[in-house]
Structure 1
Amino acid sequence: MIVPINKQYRIITDPYQWIVQKKRARKDKDNWESVTYHPTFPSAFQSLGELMVRRSDAATLADALVDVENVTTTLSQVLAPEFGEVLKVKKRGRAN
């Protein structure tokens, strides 16, 4: 499964894990580089959000808060109803 986040990031899965990937351009060809590996989708999703905020160019607290809001909006728009159910399971304590 491939979950596109934006033009720069996506989350993929294999039989064992969820993988956050970042797009890299090499020799006129786009490649996806694996950045982090996670046992669950919520873990990958949270890690990606934190990564996007940490890589922001914010110089002030106000700029950082705007970037946090933008990242939150981007990620919330990605969640289709079936992924919303995955995240609800974690809140109920049945997943890590």
Structure 2
Amino acid sequence: MSAAETKARLTSPGEYGVHGSVDHPNRAAVLLPGRFRNRRRCPCGCGNNASHAGMANGVCLTSGCELSMRRWVKDARAEIRRWNEGPSGVVPAPGQDGGS
């Protein structure tokens, strides 16, 4: 088990490996086993083989080259940060949603 899988297992609720979602905050990029690395091409357009898997909560959601999977993981962190900040860019205080 890789370090990313170990971290995901320890920080996720009890349903590790059962339910994965793009909205899950613990995304990880994992190197695929050798027998899967030469079959598919990366969808980002680089022309390389899909050598890495994009996983959330232990469930494989996508695959691609190393750069595209690292970008997929990084974009999740940025999206979660934007969701928490809200439309004005300021994190609201607990109990205050900014609505009327």
TM-score range, shorter chain: 0.3 to 0.5
Q: Could you state the TM-score of these two structures normalised by the residue count of structure 2?
A: 0.41
Bigger proportion of residues as strand: 1
Whichever of the two has the greater Rg, that structure is: 2
More helix by share: 1
Q: Which has the higher contact order (CA 8 A, sep 6+)?
A: 2
